[in-house]
Structure 1
């Protein structure tokens, strides 16, 4: 019987334990992927440290790339009708949705009533392969699966499942149709999803080709946002208190940098990706008339942030929250990375190459930085 290995997380402050388990028989619509590379995301760090609640024991990890090694009954299919086949190199969404509940029917599958979330599920002995820090992961029906071109390195592809797709979701929420957006004829990635049509047209108001955009936080998400916006002809201002991060933002295309956003004004678009309460306040204060603020960094408990409702009303402002993402966003993410990885230094953002047995060391290195991500090769 074939065996898989996974890293069991038992709670904040406790070391990971490597566990062997039989590779399960697949149910209808399920797909088994062998993980080639996973990356340690900031939310993994928050969960492991206890800053963000998470079920323990569990299997963390939700940014990864791998290859399909088995397909369950029912011939799982991509959105374009293509059958998922063994050998396909893929990334997959952080969530799996039912496709039938009221939220899914409203176009909010990322908030499905029966949502399953990779790297965030309680451990069950019979079905433990639910996270990226394992040699294998079982993909459930309702998971978006996107094929990755061979020329995109593992270190570049793995973060697509969280960081890159989340940034694509923030820009889609703001109404930006990027050159790599799903549905514009330039993305050839294939998707499996319950959504009948994941493509979206840009909303009225802010759009690509011009405008002043502020990116608050120059970590993995912020640098990705800088690169996307700069290539969409926005004038990009990157805000981060760390001088090293500000310098890196210039490498990714920022036209201006600032240590904080307190004095910034007249922004058509602000993406708040740090989650710092003071940064959220600055983001709202920076908006120009008709401007849009998208908040995606506030994913851990924190203090409430006051805002001026009169300014919002008179300024015709939009304030949007983004959490998780939809199928089209992951497709956009892969299209963006395929198109830009040769001229944007995304590979430099991933440090190390740790074995699964050395996952504690990978997390320690991720806490120290300076690379925004640390790589884990589960089968090394």
Structure 2
């Protein structure tokens, strides 16, 4: 096995990312070393570089990746679903390890709210601390004991798996578990980034009669149309007035009453108030997009009461959401060409990839590792 690995490191906030090298450790008990092949660039990575989340630096970025097993530690013989593991197998993994002991892990069964020492690959593990390679933007990653490791199903290519990165399981949590889309529903999805499009895809699969995407820029909406994601598309850069957007969306609903389900996946605080206006009485709203704090926004709470709305927050994802995403891939691939979401970059082009993701000029930037 190679003894050194390149890694893309966030050394200082608001500064270009750096390439550093680290020793590749041998896997200890119940651990694995994986040769990374594809690593996704997420909006959270943009926020990390900007210093919007409290994380240790230096840190090897990359909380979504797929690769091939390079070495298995003693005791690690099967993935979480019971499939045998061998060197060379293609695998993916949940990007966090909850403590398994706190109230939210054991009693509430909401490990995304873990108050213990929850480890997140590519986010909160310092590159200065062993095993150093704790992020996916690297040639190799060290997967620690307790990682939810899944062998990739043969029906999906690694590029297809990474195409929705953490957006897929985030959407499973927010668009399927926190709300329930029923056959015949009208669903509004705010946002046309990876989380928004993944949410819209799951709304289709759940039997929604009409899926309305409110987002932009135009190129993203055009791609959604080409992929068959959404029945009606509203460009927020063309329709800039929120009241006009609400009127146009409600015209697409039964008796202009509003949507049965609204999924907010924008990251813009004012979108939450707009979601309330889109919703019919007794509708369900899932707030998925407010992962980082972009500030407060005015909301009329009377509308929540008068409409008898059911509003849920959705923070990240846990093991069941990630496994749900992997299990859904065959059905997703029957309906949508996920590979078309991806724009590839080499590992050494990480700064360009994160800048393009920040600008919204690509839908899903992915680092292709090892083929330079």
Confirm or deny a common fold (TM above 0.5). yes
CA positional deviation for 1:214:
0.5
Count of residue correspondences: 349
Higher helix share: 2
Partner of 1:69: 70
Partner of 1:191: none
Distance 2:362 2:25 in 1: 35
Match of 1:120 among 123, 142, 162: 123
CA positional deviation for 1:75:
2.8
Partner of 2:239: none
Paired residues of 1:63 and 1:160 also in contact (CA < 8 A):
no
Distance 1:371 1:259 in 2: 17
Q: Does residue 99 of structure 2 align to residue 98 of structure 1? A: yes
- Gaps spanning 5+ residues in structure 1: where? 177-206
Q: What is the correspondence of 1:184-333 to structure 2 with a 5 Å cutoff? A: 207-234=181-208, 235-251=210-226, 252-260=228-236, 261-263=245-247, 264-265=249-250, 266-333=258-325
CA positional deviation for 1:309:
2.8
Q: What is the correspondence of 1:24-173 to structure 2 with a 5 Å cutoff? A: 24-75=25-76, 77-105=78-106, 106-112=108-114, 113-121=116-124, 122-173=126-177
Distance 1:241 1:157 in 2: 24
Distance 1:101 1:81 in 2: 26
Paired residues of 1:4 and 1:135 also in contact (CA < 8 A):
yes
Distance 1:142 1:208, change over 3 A: farther
Distance 1:253 1:357 in 2: 32
Paired residues of 1:98 and 1:142 also in contact (CA < 8 A):
no
Q: Does residue 355 of structure 2 align to residue 371 of structure 1? A: no
- Gaps spanning 5+ residues in structure 2: where? 237-244, 251-257
Paired residues of 2:90 and 2:158 also in contact (CA < 8 A):
no
CA positional deviation for 1:241:
4.2
Partner of 1:359: 350
Distance 1:359 1:245, change over 3 A: closer
CA deviations 1:10-29 (Å, max 9, x no partner) are 12332322222221132332
CA positional deviation for 1:160:
4.4
Paired residues of 1:119 and 1:131 also in contact (CA < 8 A):
yes
Paired residues of 1:94 and 1:324 also in contact (CA < 8 A):
no
CA positional deviation for 1:110:
1.9
Q: TM-score, normalised by structure 1?
A: 0.85
CA positional deviation for 1:115:
0.6
Describe the SS at the equivalent of 1:124.
coil
Describe the SS at the equivalent of 2:36.
strand
Distance 2:339 2:246 in 1: 32
Q: TM-score, normalised by structure 2?
A: 0.86
C-alpha RMSD over aligned residues: 2.1
